[in-house]
Structure 1
Amino acid sequence: MDDSAPLISLNNIYITGKIISYMAVILKRGVRFMDKNQLLHRVQSMIQSSTKRPKHMTISTVKVADIFGVKPEEVQKGLEELVQEGYLKQSRLDSPPYHDIFLMP
């Protein structure tokens, strides 16, 4: 019999216990994570419902974060990732107030 087998299973139990305790802390604090698919569908529907030509929308990260129950920084990061992945285009208005806008590719 291998003497390291009990040590390995004790290590596995310890690691599993740590993971479970971290998950419990996350759930207890109510930490939620941004789902990029939900964000993409929300932003796409906002753009499609726009009356502007070409269809575009200024996205308030604070309002979207409130809807999803996450921090505005997570929404901003999600939007940047969607732009990098080619799901959205980002531009800036040519006239005041010079807001950043999002368009469909």
Structure 2
Amino acid sequence: MTTEQTNSSSCCGGSGGSCGSGAAAEVRDSGVTTVYQVSGMTCGHCEGAVSEEISALDGVSAVKAVAATGEVTVTSAAPLDEAAVRAAVDEAGYELVGRA
């Protein structure tokens, strides 16, 4: 699904800020859980757009996006290619800063 959003602003007119990045990945019985930092999300619609695009990636079993923190928690069968996650976030109209 494509949107008319741009990487410089969110769907709600807020400006995308830059957030700190680090690394977080955890292996669980149900797969690999990785937390990403995404800039530009400001509301539930933003969370839904990002979640929908990332959910479409092969192997993804769960996605939880939180606009207030910019964190997107992804559970997948195996570690995901960060370029694929970046492309999905870009398709939703936001910017992947990196792992949180």
Same fold at TM > 0.5: no
More helix per residue: 1
The TM-score, its normalising length taken from structure 2, stands at 0.30
Q: Which has the larger radius of gyration?
A: 1
More strand per residue: 2
The TM-score, its normalising length taken from structure 1, stands at 0.29
Relative contact order, CA 8 A, sep 6+: which one is greater? 2
